[in-house]
Amino acid sequence: MTDFNHTNREPNFLEYKGKYKGILGWITSTDHKRIGLLYFYSMMFFFLAGVVMGLLMKYELISPGEQIMGAQTYNGLFTLHGLTMIFLFVIPGVAAVFGNFFLPILIGAKDVSFPRLNLMSWYLYIIGAIIVLISQFIGDGPPDTGWTFYAPYSLKTNTNVVAAVTGAFILGFSSILTGLNFIVTMHRLRAPGMGWLRMPLFGWALYGTGWIQLLATPVVGITFLMVIAERLLGIGFFDPAIGGDPILYQHLFWIYSHPAVYIMILPAMGAITEIIPTFARKTIFGYTAIVISSMAIAFVGYFVWGHHMFTSGMSSTSRWVFSLLTFLVAIPSAIKVFNWTATLYKSSINLQTPFYWAIAFVFVFMIGGFSGLVLGSLATDIHVHDTAFVVAHFHYIVFGGTGFAFFGALHYWFPKMFARVYNFKVANTGLIIFFIGFNMLYFPMFYLGLLGMPRRYYDYLPMFHSANILSTVGSWIMATGLLIIIINLIRARKGSGKEVDDPWDGKTLEWTIPSPPIVENFEEIPEVKHGPYEY
């Protein structure tokens, strides 16, 4: 651990006073670290709002019949829950917060390539989010289409679809610009001596992600514009009543929205790949294999979208081709899991909170991945498609995967961002409760799906009752764990914890500089002489 000494330092990024003071100083700052935190605070707000919506939905489902809301409210709620969680939390996710904060530091740069564009991305994110929220209050009521906006329902419903879709369209630009910025940063700003194969693996994960954001997001942007045009002008792209094709909508939507799952999960895998070597006190096993698997996921991920449409009436040929490709995209993820596990062999593990998160991540991510195999296979997907099984699967991937990695990364980099440590015991207790609640909430949904309970169900037959009770109680336990975790971090941020520079003795570049980092990260740009994880 480095000695802590506040004197003789340049002002750190938290205390730096620029042209403006207070909040203005933050929302006009082009410092990548401040932008990372702007994303962090706004995303946490939306995430917690999404959690509350989820809890209300689970409460409604505790028994058949109406508990606390009517069907229309419920349908609006699962739509808003999906929109909030997908577009405002997991898609920007680990990349927007930790990518912004740490990518430049990890590669030895003073900032991203286009700092002003970076700030503009955050503004686009906020504008998009505000429009999505406005859609709840103006027009003929909150959208009730689900986050997928499937045509022709999204064209026929009276609710305020246009505003929600416009918000999502703007959010897309935020994502595209962030991806572009990161790609250019990695090409242009790596420190002297840092060849591509000396770049930390979080960087590689963001590189793969950046290309998906750049190439796939425009597709959904155009699709959303077509929905708006169809609703306002009755053009007839997707509504068969006026000559459109609803299946076309599904293709266009999933050409983006499947790769979007990799936008969510790749940076998460990257963050886990940073955590494991630090606490194993050991270099990562199979650096090159992990790089190749990240790029393979980013590439093959473009060609599997059809597995969302196995029951749409697609031709048999497209069904088996998409099924085969879906199985192939599973392999690079498996390779990562094997390499993480192998890294632990003959290591010297420092059992700390971030490491527990990483282990918990690998476990829930595996369940998510394996259940994905059930959905990739044709006969089994026919049975569980559009049932609670799918809901369980993607919550294990996007919440179990991205969410766990987000909290893991937060506990890992928290001392670097704020120069404080949190109470480890409380953090670990929170994690255990959260982990138990998480599995109790989502695992019964696999069973419900196998039993045949359709998804997006406001009410259900008594045969589905017992598993639903378990799931709802799980949601309460999970929320309790989450509350403990968050309060613990807030207390640490407010100054209850010890001041530190580096509690973990990490080896990547962010741990070579003081905490919190100074405004331009490095007093002198470092020269890199070896790979990132030389213990």
Among positions 356-415, residues that touch another protein (CB under 8 A) are 359, 362-363, 366-367, 370-371, 373-374, 376-383, 385-387
Stretch that binds another protein, among 17-25, 42-50, 252-260, 316-324 (CB under 8 A): 316-324
* Residue 348 binding another protein, by CB under 8 A: yes
Q: How far is CA 478 from CA 159, 353, 470, in A?
A: 32, 17, 12
CA distance 439 to 443: 5
Residues making up the chain, counted from first to last: 535
- Separation between Cα atoms, residue 375 and residue 379, nearest integer Å: 9
Residue 219 contacts residue 255 (beta carbons within 8 Å): yes
User: Does position 110 bind another protein by CB under 8 A?
Assistant: no
* 286 binds another protein, rule: CB under 8 A: yes
Under the binding rule (CB under 8 A), the answer on residue 493 touching another protein is no
When the beta carbons of 129 and 284 are compared against another protein, the nearer one is 284
Contact string 33-72 vs another protein (x = CB under 8 A)? --------------------------------------xx
Residue 27 touches another protein, criterion: CB under 8 A: no
Question: Which tokens in the block code for residue 71?
Answer: 């069907």
Q: CA 1 to CA 415: how far, in whole Å? A: 12
Complete DSSP assignment for 280-319: HTSPPTTHHHHHHHHHHHHHHGGG-GGGGGTTTT--HHHH
Size of the site for another protein (CB under 8 A): 85
- Looking from the CA of 113 toward its CB, the CA atoms found within 13 Å total 14
Within 155-184, the residues that bind another protein by CB under 8 A are 156-158
**Binders in 458-477 for another protein, by CB under 8 A:** 458-461
| Gap between the Cα atoms of 50 and 110, Å rounded | 34
Distance of CA 445 to the CA centre of its chain: 21
Q: Judged by CB under 8 A, which of 334, 432, 469, 490 binds another protein?
A: 334
CB nearer to another protein: give 31 or 144.
144
415 and 435 Cβ atoms separated by less than 8 Å? no
Residues numbered 440 to 459 that lie near another protein (CB under 8 A) are: 450-452, 454-459
Q: Which of residues 71-90 bind another protein (CB under 8 A)?
A: 71-72, 75
Output Rg (C-alpha) for the chain, integer angstroms. 23
Q: Which is nearer to another protein, 452 or 526 (CB)?
A: 452
The CA-CA-CA angle for residues 83, 89, 90, to 5°, reads 95
- The residues in 231-270 that bind another protein, with binding defined as CB under 8 A, are 240-241, 245-247
Give the binding range for another protein (CB under 8 A) out of 32-40, 84-92, 199-207, 276-284. Answer: 276-284
Where do we find the tokens 């949190």?
Answer: 422
Q: Tell me the two tokens of residue 483.
A: 């509350």
Segment contacting another protein by CB under 8 A, of 32-40, 152-160, 395-403, 514-522: 152-160
Contact between 146 and another protein (CB under 8 A)? yes
Helix (H) or strand (E) holding 385: none
Does the footprint of another protein cover residue 2 (CB under 8 A)?
no
Coil, strand or helix at 423 = coil
Nearer to another protein, 156 or 498 (CB): 156
